[in-house]
Structure 1
Amino acid sequence: MKRTLIIAHRGARSLAPENTMAAARKALELGADLWETDVGVSSDGVLILFHDDSLKRTTNAAEVYPDRAPWTFTEFTFAEIERLDAGSWFNRDDPFGQIAAGRVSAAEQRSFEGLKVPTVEEALAFTRENGWAVNIELKRLPPPLEGFPVVTRFFEVMDRVGIAPEQVRLSSFEHRWLEEARALRPEVEVQALVGFHRDRPIDWDAVAGYETVNARATLTPPEKVRELVAAGKRVNLFTVNDPDEARAYLEAGVTGLFTDFPQDLLPLVR
């Protein structure tokens, strides 16, 4: 039986600022099987790693551009985004309490100051050079870039970097993009994200045509995982941070676990 994959969610984001190269490097250093990151797009069409619609939480955009609230990333050029510090907030906020717990060294904290928002090109190059793998989430883009051709642009970047298709998985809640990706590049694995709404049951029939589903853990109990795996599906769950919860899913035969704490879940699968 294949071992469950430990997937570092936005990199090892409990130990380094999410969706930065520092978080990717940390996840690699810990031994995560692959990392997951999110694609955003600047107003001039550069693909970047970014999760929220607003730059506010994980950069100093509010200080650098005080008059541009709500700081939606699609309204900033890449040159403007490059001016931002995407790391210092982590030291200030300690989002997962790992600095307080003594798990992030003073030297590491210093290295986070002034980190840049990376490009997708940098992320893919890093993954290729390290013989690693990445799960790329194509997120719904906020206005005015709702119609941006993100799938074709992503494949252009992939080609430029020369990363092997087997090093990349594409995931999205926008299943039409996955269909487009499958038609353009059948050699790149696509994974259907389900469970966008925390309070609505998952419509499993809607993703019957996908071999791999990435599902919200709180909506997918271990017995459902067992049933799906028995039916031949690959099931990755987001986001599982608690080791006891992880153990229950491991016993159910889950394919992979997206986690903010690869440092705590990796020992369970080894």
Structure 2
Amino acid sequence: MYVRPAAAAAAALLGFTLTVLGGTASYAATGPGPVPGPPGLLGNPVVYAHRGASAYAPENTLDAVDLAMRLGFDWVENDVQRTKDGELVVVHDDTLSRTTDVEQVFPDRGPWRVRDFTAAEIARLDAGSWFGQEYTGARVPTLREYLDRVQRNQQRLLLEIKKPELYPGIEQQTLKVLDEAGWLDAWHVQQRLVVQSFSADCVRLVHELRPDLVTAFLGTPAVADLPRYARFTDRINPWHTTISAEWVAAVHGLLGAHGRTMEVDTWIVDDATTARKVRAMGVDGIITNAPDVVQEAVGGYWQG
């Protein structure tokens, strides 16, 4: 359940406290790719800020990314779609009505699909006031703007290619923007970037185009089907209600596309009880709208 924006001030205070204490265990994130990063304290799962710290700021905006950074979380997750004129933008739904004022600005353009608007038109929209008055004027960022902000914040990115069936060629285009923004060098590829999708074909294509990239499939394949996914992906990222400790162990029993033990990052977990439950199942990561809540539940600080 989302915490409304009144919680933002408390979250910011918590972020200051965590900074003083030395950060959160999210900095223990195992670096993707062939060069492993440092392990988390006592094996605690990595915490990913879903669409930024989206319990406290409007999802997929730069405000949400910045708040995740202030809270001490370096892994953020986002969603990528494409405009009518071919610009990649960061927005979750394939329509703009839930998270912007598009119905007021363009009342005759229903059903307000992302692909039916140009980048310039989307740039006019308010993507923050639906969440709270303090975010009035927040915009839907382009992917390049988002990448630049994540880079400035020294964060890491779990990038989801959303509904690729609506956007032919979006895999190649996403990789092109990542490359132009400096995100496909060895450092980013090995330590700071994972590309995921609900589409197995999309994940497979990204792996074929850039075999060095870490990829993740969003879903819960049957145990018998897992070896097929292991040929082109490194992680299986399921909804938390669909998994068990036995299923997680089955994923861990396979080597992924880069010859390393496959990982499980589950979503969307926003409460302490569920966070502790999935940690006990052995998941490697937890994707959450409320990263501070989950981090407190799974416990510990990482130190290099």
TM-score, with structure 1 as normaliser: 0.85
Residue aligning to 1:73: 114
Contact in 2 for aligned 1:237/1:256 (Cα 8 Å): yes
Q: CA deviation at 1:222?
A: 3.6
| 1:151 has 2:180 as partner | no
| 1:124 has 2:153 as partner | no
* CA distance in 2 between partners of 1:242 and 1:24 (Å): 20
Contact in 1 for aligned 2:127/2:137 (Cα 8 Å): yes
* CA distance in 2 between partners of 1:177 and 1:25 (Å): 29
Residue aligning to 1:64: 105
* CA distance in 1 between partners of 2:164 and 2:97 (Å): 16
Decide whether aligned partners of structure 1 residues 248 and 147 sit closer, same or farther in structure 2, where only a CA change above 3 A counts.
closer
Residue 185 of structure 1, aligned match among 188, 210, 220: 210
Amino acid at match of 2:178: M
Secondary structure (helix, strand or coil) at the match of 1:74 reads: helix
- Among all aligned residue pairs of Structure 1 and Structure 2, give the percentage whose two residues are the same amino acid: 34
Residue aligning to 1:203: 222
Residue aligning to 2:59: 18
| 1:89 has 2:130 as partner | yes
Secondary structure (helix, strand or coil) at the match of 2:49 reads: strand
* CA distance in 1 between partners of 2:252 and 2:69 (Å): 27
Residue aligning to 2:252: 229
Gap runs ≥5 in structure 2:
1-41, 255-260
Residue 287 of structure 2, aligned match among 258, 265, 269: 258
* CA distance in 2 between partners of 1:147 and 1:74 (Å): 8
Secondary structure (helix, strand or coil) at the match of 2:194 reads: strand
Secondary structure (helix, strand or coil) at the match of 2:70 reads: helix
* CA distance in 1 between partners of 2:109 and 2:164 (Å): 18
Secondary structure (helix, strand or coil) at the match of 1:180 reads: helix
* CA distance in 2 between partners of 1:86 and 1:149 (Å): 26
Amino acid at match of 2:142: T
* CA distance in 2 between partners of 1:160 and 1:124 (Å): 10
Residue 47 of structure 1, aligned match among 88, 93, 97: 88
Gap runs ≥5 in structure 1:
92-108, 196-201
Q: Deviations over 1:19-77 (max 9, x none)?
A: 10001111111122401100011100100001111100100000000111110010000
* CA distance in 1 between partners of 2:248 and 2:293 (Å): 22
Contact in 1 for aligned 2:50/2:287 (Cα 8 Å): yes
Secondary structure (helix, strand or coil) at the match of 2:265 reads: strand
TM-score, with structure 2 as normaliser: 0.75
Q: CA deviation at 1:186?
A: 1.6
* CA distance in 2 between partners of 1:11 and 1:223 (Å): 30
Q: CA deviation at 1:168?
A: 1.3
Decide whether aligned partners of structure 1 residues 203 and 230 sit closer, same or farther in structure 2, where only a CA change above 3 A counts.
closer
Q: CA deviation at 1:230?
A: 4.8
Residue aligning to 1:167: 192
* CA distance in 2 between partners of 1:136 and 1:68 (Å): 29
Amino acid at match of 1:181: V
Amino acid at match of 1:260: N
Q: Number of residues paired by the alignment?
A: 243
Q: CA deviation at 1:216?
A: 1.0
Residue aligning to 2:71: 30
Q: CA deviation at 1:147?
A: 4.6
Q: Deviations over 1:68-105 (max 9, x none)?
A: 111001000000001100000001xxxxxxxxxxxxxx
**Aligned alpha-carbon RMSD (Å):** 1.7
Residue aligning to 1:214: 237
Q: CA deviation at 1:123?
A: 1.4
* CA distance in 2 between partners of 1:254 and 1:128 (Å): 27
Contact in 2 for aligned 1:128/1:167 (Cα 8 Å): no
Q: Deviations over 1:84-132 (max 9, x none)?
A: 00000001xxxxxxxxxxxxxxxxx52x111010011111112222322
